[in-house]
Amino acid sequence: MTKKEMRKIIEGEKVKTGYCCYQDDGLSKSDLKEIGSNSGAYGWNWTLYYHKASDTYYVSGYRNF
């Protein structure tokens, strides 16, 4: 998934970013639906998740988002 594709999905939506940002809300990966991820020359960059109950997108990663 490209950064441009991710931005189209989350535009105008409730979003939280940062490494394992969903844990700040008391969630685990099993509570989320993985939408897509991004990697590059240095490996994994980020993963986009969606939590239906809170209608929130989480972008968990290190760089490039």
* Backbone dihedral angles phi then psi of residue 52, each to the nearest 5 degrees: -65, -45
Cβ partners under 8 Å of residue 11, min gap 6: none
Domain that holds residue 25: 3-61
Domain count, the chain: 1
d(CA 52, CA 6): 17
Give the per-residue pLDDT at 53.
96
Judge contact between 48 and 55, C-beta under 8 A.
Answer: no
How confident is the model over 5-47, as pLDDT tens digits?
A: 999 999 999 999 999 999 999 999 999 999 999 999 999 999 9
